[in-house]
């Protein structure tokens, strides 16, 4: 059974993340969060429903969603929102393209990392 995942972000960066997630078998995408444009709630983005913004975090956790990935380019915002996601009990997911080349001595962080790798 795949772990349920919410993607926080709904723009170009998120499209790349969706593609990477769908290449694997680890996660089931349950929806997208968009804090930038609340009028997009209920609409579709890249084949997935935008379910709202950060106000949905508690409901998502209560419904069994355990993982969140931050899919937007602003590094400072990723650090801030990653902490908010962790405070709500989410683990921060990683998306690594299956054809990415990672150095043998590189470490790809766990939950403390806000890393996204793609080729």
CATH of the domain at 47: 3.40.50.20
User: Domains in the chain: how many in total?
Assistant: 1
What number of other Cβ atoms are within 10 A of residue 49's Cβ?
Answer: 15
Q: How far apart are CA 99 and CA 8, in angstroms?
A: 24
**Domain housing 84:** 3-92
Any domain includes 118 = no
What pTM did the predictor assign? 0.87
Any domain includes 20 = yes
| Contact status, residue 11 vs residue 46, Cβ threshold 8 Å | no
Any domain includes 102 = no
Residuewise pLDDT in 10s, the chain (119 residues): 899 999 999 999 999 999 999 998 899 999 999 999 999 999 999 999 999 999 999 999 999 999 999 999 999 999 999 999 999 999 999 888 888 888 888 877 654 444 444 43
Any domain includes 19 = yes
Name the nearest CA neighbour of 26 among 48, 3, 57.
3
Any domain includes 100 = no
């Amino acid at each position: 059974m795949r772990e349920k995942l919410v993607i926080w972000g709904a723009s170009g960066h998120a499209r790349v993340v969706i593609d990477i997630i769908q290449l694997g078998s680890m996660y089931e995408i349950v929806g997208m969060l968009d804090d930038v444009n609340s009028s997009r709630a209920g609409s579709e983005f890249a084949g997935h429903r935008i379910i709202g913004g950060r106000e949905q975090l508690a409901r998502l956790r209560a419904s069994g969603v355990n993982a969140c990935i931050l899919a937007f380019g602003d590094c400072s915002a990723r650090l801030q929102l990653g902490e908010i996601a962790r405070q709500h009990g989410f683990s921060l997911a990683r998306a690594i393209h299956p054809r990415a080349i990672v150095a043998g001595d590189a470490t790809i962080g766990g939950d403390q990392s806000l890393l996204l790798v793609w080729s």
